[in-house]
Structure 1
Amino acid sequence: MREKSSVEVNKIPDRQMSQNLSILKKFLPHLSPYKSQIIFGVLSLLLATLSVLCIGLGVRSLIDQAFTLENSFALDQAILFMVISVIVMAVASFGRTYFVSWIGERVMTDLRQKVFSHLLKLDVGFFEMIRPGEIMSRLTTDTTLIQIVIGNSAALALRNLLLFVGGGAMMLVMSIKLTLLSTLIVPLILIPLLVFGKRVKRGSRHTQDSMADLSGFLEESLGSIRSCYAFGRETIEQASFKSLGEATFSRSAHYLLMRSWLTFLVMVLVFLGVSGLLWLGGRDVLTGNLSAGQLASFLFYALTAAGSTASFSEIYADLQRAAGASERIFEILATYPKIEQSSKLRSLPKEARGTIALHNVSFAYPSNPKQEILDNVTLSMAPGEKVAIVGPSGSGKSTILSLLLRFFDPQSGSIYLDGIDLKDAPIDQVRARFGIVPQDPMIFSGSLYENILYGHPHASETDIWNALEAAHLLELVKLLPDGIHTQLGTRGVRLSGGQKQRVAIARVILRNAPILLLDEATSALDAESEAAVQDSLKRLMATKTTLVVAHRLATVLTSDRIVVLNKGRVEAIGTHAELITEDGLYRRLATLQFTDSLTVSDQQKGQKILWS
């Protein structure tokens, strides 16, 4: 009569537990919208429990009235009573299972949507402080643990509690003497099983750990198969996999041995317990103190009560896991973005001019607040101006782009967009003014069409084809098996580095934002592809403010201005012609990158001019 607990049915990865079960009360508001389903679920549970207890009465009537008295009418009545009880139990169990499970799934879905929506409101700094895998685990594993409690364990706990109380009460009605003896016998059976059961559970955890190690090794090995072949490590990898496989088998064999011993103990101890009660009850039947029907009914209720207690420890473990999961979920919901909206928001001008100004901006990342990335940076850009930022790695070039997009706020200083302080403008309006091509563009696992549409979800198909043509992707579309609707695979595995970057450029063309942020936009393109994109970028930038982050100085030779950053400070500002004549960082960088003469005319003859 015992139902398996969720842990026995569902293989859920181990997560940290918590003793703070009171935190589960925070889910009550999430249940309130579904009162009718809860009422139907509880009524079904009560009816199912009552029908189980009625079966015991049917057994008593069957033996005492039908068999003992050899009464065929009593036999018909007893069988009919038990059949009706079973039908009622089945119908009620259907209702309980459906409604309670529905509530669990509904609350889990609502919770995931709430957490995900909240995550999208947090600042980028939050995601730098916590691993993406941990966030995914909270959205999947932790919410599943909560769903298990709401949709299974809570109802199972209430059902088993009612069966235990009801079964115990009926045992007293049948025989007070046997009930008292049962309270002595049951602990003698349960204690060894619980102790040994913990060892089996520990063995199961060790087996899962071994499987996790094996899965991790497989993921790493197959994910880096080219490196494996290139370094000739096939034999070594086979030996490592064999070692891990044997270790997993060893732990699994030990776990199977322990589980087999547990099965042996269950069968022996339970049979001994039942035999003891049968022997004692049988003597009472022989002396006339107890009827055979009462004894059979007593055994039915005893097994029902004992079976209901067997899963309490697992249910409590479920509650502890759910409490731990709840703490991690509510930790996210209690986190507020550090990028706060001003109480006096000012909308950006409807007509975007594309002016940018940074005044005495200093900034350090939240993950390392003691290391200042930008130090008192002042910079302005006029509408339509093309400004390039150059400097060594770590000088703060890409950080300026992050501050413009308001992924972070500076610790001091102000940033203005079209005359409005970014802190006073709505974040969605600020980001709508920018189109960015990052150095490592993100390609999603959808189709090429969906990847380009990402830049402007409401664009027409004509606009998409125009963007494809402008980014010189039409030839690629012809080569793909399903054209523009070809699935690109995880992180665009079907595309080369240059093709990925051209997809990112097509997104920006489709977005048609007034300000362009180009973070080494052509760094992954070969000479032919770079030349093909030049005209498109030239036309695109003609009426837009453009800020270019560059490592290759050849790509910024004819920018309107070049800003040289060094250790977070603006070291120099000027054109290429002006900076190359100064004995500064820009000249030293140029010396490392250019092999021709450092005169302005020679450089411009020897290099392709992208930003003309």
Structure 2
Amino acid sequence: TTTGSVPFYKLFGFATPTDKLLMFIGTVGAIGNGLCLPLMTIVFGDLINAFGRNAINHDVVHAVSKAAIKFVYLAAGSGVASFLQLSCWMVAGERQAARIRNLYLKKILQQDVAFFDKETNTGEVVGRMSGDTVLIQDAIGEKVGKFIQLVSTFLGGFIVAFVRGWLLTLIMLSVIPLLVVSGALMFWFFSKMSSLGQTAYANASTIVEQTIGSIRTVASFTGEKQAVADYEKSLLVSYKSGVQQGLMSGFGFGVVMFFAFSCYAMAVWFGARMILYRGYTGGQVINIIIAVLTASMSLGQASPCVSAFGAGKAAAFKMFQTLNRVPEIDAYDTRGVILDDIHGDVELRDVHFSYPTRPDEQIFRGFSLIIPNGTTTALVG
């Protein structure tokens, strides 16, 4: 089927040791970058307490300065981590995508003629070389680092929140199952729609390639309107897929934001009760709310990364099928006996042949031919 996908880890099957080192460094940078926001919420909570305790005396400047210098440290750490995250993951993605393009072209040139008759065509090959490799690169490049960063923010935010006040955090966590379910549904839908859209675009590219390549024949039979109609039909399928993706993306993001802000409204009210009955400070409540807010927002921001992963997995399905295909006639196979000197005649005897796509139409019926040694024979047809 053309609507399948490959496991995500197989997208990295062409990584070299250098690529793996870049991805490791980029992952460390992404984790560090993701933890900066949860750490910032701790400093922000201390800042709120500093303002509250010293609102009417001159110690406020000294107390706030301590928080300010912590922000400077976070800024320096975030800058270095962001550089490592983006640069390493983007370079690793570009290197692997270039390697996949090169291997795909070599594998296409290695295939036998029957492959182009039965399984693909020129338009589809060009479309996958120019379009699908970009989707794969997007799925194994910067988006991976961004996703790791967001996961780090998600985990770090809740760790900070539980340490600062587990009871208020548990109250806010009541909305998380709804966020997880909506995210899982979005991921499944994106993966399915991306595969259908890519198949439709490949079919549209085939129609254009066949029409332009045989434009004289098309014009002689006045087939221009039919070609345009077929092209519009293929584009309509991809258009509907894109519209459905857009609607689902908007709906999913809206659901995430609705649940998130409903949770914060409940947290503010419950936080006031924690100050009255549990001895929480104002800075502690704000720290917990912002930490959970940051973690939840990171979950919503992961939607573009998830959609890119789904599109990359779907795009890799057909390309990896071609990369793993062993041709029936392999011109590059070095197995067998290599003769240093060959003498003899060439003879074809009682050959029957038909194309794989048209098995009922016989091209050769009992065809025989003898080419004597030392002669030149021209085959026209």
Change beyond 3 A, Cα 1:226–1:86: farther
Change beyond 3 A, Cα 1:357–1:201: closer
- Tell me by how many angstroms 1:72 deviates: 0.9
| Equivalent residues of 2:347, 2:370 under 8 A apart | yes
Q: Unaligned regions of 5+ residues in structure 1, if any?
A: 1-14, 386-544, 551-612
| Equivalent residues of 1:189, 1:273 under 8 A apart | no
Question: What SS is found at the alignment partner of 1:343?
Answer: coil
Structure 1 Cα separation of the partners of residues 220 and 39 of structure 2: 69
Change beyond 3 A, Cα 1:347–1:304: farther
- Tell me by how many angstroms 1:59 deviates: 0.5
Aligned equivalent of 1:89? 78
Structure 1 Cα separation of the partners of residues 141 and 125 of structure 2: 23
1:303 to 289, 293, 296: 293
- Tell me by how many angstroms 1:281 deviates: 0.9
Asked if 1:549 is matched to 2:380, the reply is yes
| Equivalent residues of 1:38, 1:103 under 8 A apart | yes
| Equivalent residues of 2:19, 2:96 under 8 A apart | no
Change beyond 3 A, Cα 1:118–1:166: same
| Equivalent residues of 2:350, 2:368 under 8 A apart | yes
Change beyond 3 A, Cα 1:144–1:302: same
Question: What SS is found at the alignment partner of 1:358?
Answer: strand
- Tell me by how many angstroms 1:168 deviates: 1.3
1:435-483 Cα shifts (integer Å, max 9, x gaps): xxxxxxxxxxxxxxxxxxxxxxxxxxxxxxxxxxxxxxxxxxxxxxxxx
Structure 2 Cα separation of the partners of residues 369 and 74 of structure 1: 86
| Equivalent residues of 1:362, 1:372 under 8 A apart | no
Asked if 1:343 is matched to 2:343, the reply is no
Q: Unaligned regions of 5+ residues in structure 2, if any?
A: none
| Equivalent residues of 1:164, 1:308 under 8 A apart | yes
Question: What SS is found at the alignment partner of 2:378?
Answer: strand
Structure 2 Cα separation of the partners of residues 229 and 380 of structure 1: 40
Aligned equivalent of 1:45? 30
Question: What SS is found at the alignment partner of 1:302?
Answer: helix
Aligned equivalent of 1:80? 69
Structure 2 Cα separation of the partners of residues 199 and 106 of structure 1: 28
| Equivalent residues of 2:350, 2:366 under 8 A apart | yes
Count of residue pairs the alignment pairs up: 365
| Identity of matched residues, % | 20
1:117-145 Cα shifts (integer Å, max 9, x gaps): 22222222222222223333443444333
| Equivalent residues of 1:153, 1:315 under 8 A apart | yes
Change beyond 3 A, Cα 1:48–1:241: closer
1:58-99 Cα shifts (integer Å, max 9, x gaps): 101211124432421121121221133123213311220110
| Equivalent residues of 1:200, 1:259 under 8 A apart | no
Structure 1 Cα separation of the partners of residues 289 and 303 of structure 2: 23
Structure 2 Cα separation of the partners of residues 124 and 232 of structure 1: 27
| Equivalent residues of 1:62, 1:293 under 8 A apart | yes
Structure 1 Cα separation of the partners of residues 103 and 359 of structure 2: 30
- Tell me by how many angstroms 1:334 deviates: 2.6
Question: What SS is found at the alignment partner of 2:346?
Answer: strand
Change beyond 3 A, Cα 1:257–1:74: same
| Equivalent residues of 2:38, 2:157 under 8 A apart | yes
> Residue type of the partner of 2:328?
K
Aligned equivalent of 2:12? 27
TM-score by length of 2: 0.74
Asked if 1:69 is matched to 2:54, the reply is yes
Change beyond 3 A, Cα 1:118–1:86: same
| Equivalent residues of 1:125, 1:365 under 8 A apart | no
Aligned equivalent of 1:378? 369
Structure 2 Cα separation of the partners of residues 41 and 84 of structure 1: 20
| Equivalent residues of 1:53, 1:166 under 8 A apart | yes
User: What are the equivalent positions in structure 2 for 1:101-500 lying under 5 Å apart?
Assistant: 101-132=90-121, 133-188=123-178, 268-287=258-277, 289-310=279-300, 315=305, 318-339=308-329, 343-347=336-340, 357-360=346-349, 362-365=351-354, 367=356, 371=362, 373=364, 375=366, 377-381=368-372, 383=374
- Tell me by how many angstroms 1:347 deviates: 4.3
Aligned equivalent of 1:415? none
Which structure shows the bigger proportion of residues in helix conformation?
A: 2
| Equivalent residues of 2:31, 2:148 under 8 A apart | no
| Equivalent residues of 2:197, 2:241 under 8 A apart | no
> Which is bigger in relative contact order (C-alpha 8 A, separation at least 6)?
2
| Equivalent residues of 1:51, 1:89 under 8 A apart | yes
Change beyond 3 A, Cα 1:48–1:126: same
